[in-house]
């Protein structure tokens, strides 16, 4: 951190550090050691150490699409790696009406300043046991000012009011810390989980969410859509959408693990222009091209949900969020690549997010080459941009660096340097082995683990070349493929 004090003040002004233990705050009821956070270097208040949420079974009711009102019932399947006398979830959401532990009512406390919901189970949660924690809530989700984006943005639960003959829209846009605005969660990328998401909406509306659609039930004036996300994903990548969507199904593409079919569906609001739909016309081809480089597509479905507000695009799992203003083929390919890098191989902590953006950006270069374009010229533009704007080592040391030019373009050039060093065939093998290795188990990767893997797979020379890109302040010269 170069300017620690102004940085801290800026964060405090945004209310972001209220969850860290500073002496001025009232003492927590449990000894701090029982409810330690995950101590992320950039978001020190997020998560609970030792807590492992395996699954979220979520039922949302969105009675008035176009408003932020929501009712939720979520049952978390919990495990732990140490005895936990309390469970302390991230939550900045609507009012909690009931909390049950294995179906029995238990005491709970909401601390809005800390954005935590603390629950006291009848007996501590111990390693080797699992529990089901149910939370019921209703009202208006909290607001999280985006801590990092150049343009101001409220993260989390979003609404676009109906108007001009348009239906109302409600959806989720969370990276990095917006999911706990509407969902009690261990809202840190290191605790990935599976999801069942059921969404009840007024008849005529369509709900979509991460995962495979497992059915629709119409009853009375409502429709309920169910989605199962069977592979673990980080909480920030959960996608939920409500609009009068047109759902467009395509033939499955056999690029999953072992050639498994990947279901294809896109969701378009009725007012989507044809030019926007065209941006997604080559998704099947992009799935095949990227699966050649990265290995099998890691999820059971892929597509996009188009939303109308001016926002950045986000790689929501199995169903990327593509705002109209971002709906280009380049961005479409970028978000698709994030399904491997970000959603299957997830940053262990927020400073490691460059590993996601680097490879999503590098996919743009690979796609350009697939189309017969000049990848080296693409890389040269990145290098010129960084020379002009200045740069830094890759691990972010403050939130303002999370999604800056260095994260994307220096990150991408790091992989270009590795490719230049080892050649195309070895680079392809490296990427495939990297996905296999780091999507397994916890499904996360840290910067040191990445560097160790480069050394292990590609040797000390390659590691040295990559390390300059990762760790030095100065910009190394443009890598040239031989």
Residues that bind ligand TRP (CB under 6 A): 149, 173, 175, 311-315, 334-335, 338, 357, 360, 403
Which parts of 115-235 fold into alpha helices (H)?
none
| Closest distance to ligand TRP from the beta carbon of 326 (Å) | 9
| Closest distance to ligand TRP from the beta carbon of 318 (Å) | 15
Task: Concatenate the DSSP letters of all residues of 257-285 into one string.
Answer: GGGPPEEEEEEE-TT--HHHHHTTTTHHH
- What six digits make up the tokens of 462? 């390659």
| Closest distance to ligand TRP from the beta carbon of 431 (Å) | 19
Of the listed pieces 2-10, 140-148, 292-300, 355-363, which binds Zn ion according to CB under 5 A? 355-363
For the beta carbon of residue 7, count every other beta carbon within 10 angstroms.
15
Pairs from 17-24 (Cβ < 8 Å, separation ≥ 24): 17/44, 17/45, 18/45, 18/113, 18/114, 18/115, 19/44, 19/45, 19/46, 19/113, 19/114, 19/115, 19/116, 20/44, 20/45
| Closest distance to Zn ion from the beta carbon of 153 (Å) | 15
| Closest distance to Zn ion from the beta carbon of 296 (Å) | 21
- Closer CB to Zn ion, residue 266 or residue 357? 357
Of the listed pieces 275-283, 349-357, 362-370, 443-451, which binds Zn ion according to CB under 5 A? 349-357
Task: List all residues 6 or more positions away from 63 whose beta carbon is below 8 Å from its beta carbon.
Answer: 69, 71, 201, 202
When CB distances are held under 5 to 8 angstroms depending on the partner's kind, the choice from Zn ion, ligand TRP, none that residue 173 binds is ligand TRP
- Please, are residues 71 and 183 in contact by the beta-carbon 8 Å criterion? no
| Closest distance to ligand TRP from the beta carbon of 339 (Å) | 11
- Closer CB to Zn ion, residue 80 or residue 316? 316
Give how many residues touch Zn ion by CB under 5 A: 2
- Closer CB to ligand TRP, residue 173 or residue 317? 173
- Closer CB to Zn ion, residue 115 or residue 331? 331
- Closer CB to ligand TRP, residue 159 or residue 458? 159
- Please, are residues 145 and 177 in contact by the beta-carbon 8 Å criterion? no
| Closest distance to ligand TRP from the beta carbon of 345 (Å) | 14
When CB distances are held under 5 to 8 angstroms depending on the partner's kind, the choice from ligand TRP, Zn ion, none that residue 99 binds is none
- Closer CB to ligand TRP, residue 198 or residue 334? 334
Q: What is the CA radius of gyration of the chain?
A: 22
When CB distances are held under 5 to 8 angstroms depending on the partner's kind, the choice from Zn ion, ligand TRP, none that residue 38 binds is none
| Closest distance to ligand TRP from the beta carbon of 441 (Å) | 23
- Closer CB to Zn ion, residue 70 or residue 435? 435
What is the bridge-based pairing of β-strands 193-202 and 51-61?
parallel
- Closer CB to Zn ion, residue 94 or residue 411? 411
For residue 340, which phi and psi values (nearest 5 degrees)?
-80, -50
- Closer CB to ligand TRP, residue 334 or residue 398? 334
| Closest distance to ligand TRP from the beta carbon of 95 (Å) | 26
When CB distances are held under 5 to 8 angstroms depending on the partner's kind, the choice from Zn ion, ligand TRP, none that residue 293 binds is none
When CB distances are held under 5 to 8 angstroms depending on the partner's kind, the choice from Zn ion, ligand TRP, none that residue 231 binds is none
Q: How far apart are CA 469 and CA 417, in angstroms?
A: 8
Q: How far apart are CA 401 and CA 404, in angstroms?
A: 5
Q: Which residues pair with 133 in a beta bridge?
A: 76, 101
- Please, are residues 272 and 182 in contact by the beta-carbon 8 Å criterion? no
- Closer CB to ligand TRP, residue 313 or residue 324? 313
Q: How far apart are CA 227 and CA 290, in angstroms?
A: 25
| Closest distance to ligand TRP from the beta carbon of 429 (Å) | 26
Q: Note whether 401 binds Zn ion by CB under 5 A.
A: no
- Please, are residues 211 and 197 in contact by the beta-carbon 8 Å criterion? yes
Q: Note whether 357 binds Zn ion by CB under 5 A.
A: yes
Q: Note whether 360 binds Zn ion by CB under 5 A.
A: yes
- Closer CB to ligand TRP, residue 21 or residue 312? 312
| Closest distance to ligand TRP from the beta carbon of 403 (Å) | 5
When CB distances are held under 5 to 8 angstroms depending on the partner's kind, the choice from Zn ion, ligand TRP, none that residue 124 binds is none
- Please, are residues 59 and 19 in contact by the beta-carbon 8 Å criterion? no
3-state secondary structure 456-468: HHHHHHHHHHHHH
For residue 8, which phi and psi values (nearest 5 degrees)?
-65, -40
When CB distances are held under 5 to 8 angstroms depending on the partner's kind, the choice from ligand TRP, Zn ion, none that residue 227 binds is none
Q: How far apart are CA 94 and CA 188, in angstroms?
A: 20
When CB distances are held under 5 to 8 angstroms depending on the partner's kind, the choice from ligand TRP, Zn ion, none that residue 431 binds is none
Instruction: State the residues that interact with Zn ion by CB under 5 A.
Output: 357, 360
């Amino acid at each position: 951190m170069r300017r620690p004090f102004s940085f801290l003040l800026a964060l405090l002004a945004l209310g972001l550090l209220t969850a860290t233990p500073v002496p001025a705050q009232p003492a927590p009821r449990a000894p701090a050691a029982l409810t330690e956070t995950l101590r992320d270097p950039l978001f020190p208040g997020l998560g609970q150490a030792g807590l492992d949420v395996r699954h979220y079974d979520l039922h949302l009711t969105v009675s008035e699409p176009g408003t932020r009102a929501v009712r939720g019932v979520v049952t978390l399947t919990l495990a732990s790696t140490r005895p936990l006398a309390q469970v302390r979830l991230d939550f900045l959401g609507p009012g909690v009406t009931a909390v049950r532990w294995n179906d029995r009512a238990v005491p709970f406390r909401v601390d809005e300043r800390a954005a935590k919901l603390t629950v006291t189970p009848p007996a501590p949660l111990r390693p080797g046991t699992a529990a089901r924690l149910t939370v019921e809530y209703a009202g208006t989700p909290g607001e999280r000012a985006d801590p990092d984006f150049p343009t101001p943005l409220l993260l989390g639960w979003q609404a676009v009011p109906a108007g001009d003959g348009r239906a109302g829209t409600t959806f989720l846009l969370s990276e990095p810390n917006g999911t706990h605005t509407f969902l009690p969660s261990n809202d840190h990328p290191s605790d990935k989980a599976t999801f069942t998401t059921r969404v009840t909406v007024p008849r005529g509306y369509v709900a979509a969410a991460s995962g495979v659609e497992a059915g629709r039930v119409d009853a009375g004036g409502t429709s309920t859509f169910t989605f199962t996300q069977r592979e673990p994903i980080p909480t920030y990548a959960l996608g939920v959408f409500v609009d009068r969507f047109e759902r467009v199904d395509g033939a499955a593409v056999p690029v999953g693990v072992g050639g498994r079919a990947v279901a294809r569906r896109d969701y378009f609001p009725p007012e989507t222009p044809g030019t926007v739909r065209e941006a997604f016309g080559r998704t099947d081809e992009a799935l095949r091209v990227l699966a050649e480089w990265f290995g099998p597509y890691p999820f059971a479905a892929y597509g996009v949900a188009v939303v109308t507000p001016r926002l950045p695009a986000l790689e929501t799992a199995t169903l990327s969020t593509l705002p109209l203003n971002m709906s280009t083929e380049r961005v479409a390919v970028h978000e698709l690549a994030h399904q491997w890098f970000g959603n299957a191989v997830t940053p262990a902590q927020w400073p490691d997010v460059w590993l996601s953006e680097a490879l999503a950006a590098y996919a743009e270069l690979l796609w350009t080459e697939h189309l017969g374009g000049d990848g080296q010229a693409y890389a040269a533009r990145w290098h010129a941009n960084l020379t002009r704007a200045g740069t830094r080592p890759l691990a972010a040391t403050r939130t303002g660096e999370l999604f800056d030019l260095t994260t994307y373009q220096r990150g991408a050039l790091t992989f270009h340097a590795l490719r230049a060093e080892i050649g195309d065939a070895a680079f392809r093998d490296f990427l495939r082995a990297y996905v296999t290795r780091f999507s397994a188990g916890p499904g996360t990767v840290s910067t040191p683990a990445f560097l160790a893997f480069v050394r292990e797979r590609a040797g000390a020379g390659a590691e040295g070349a990559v390390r300059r890109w990762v760790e030095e302040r100065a910009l190394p010269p443009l890598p040239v493929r031989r």
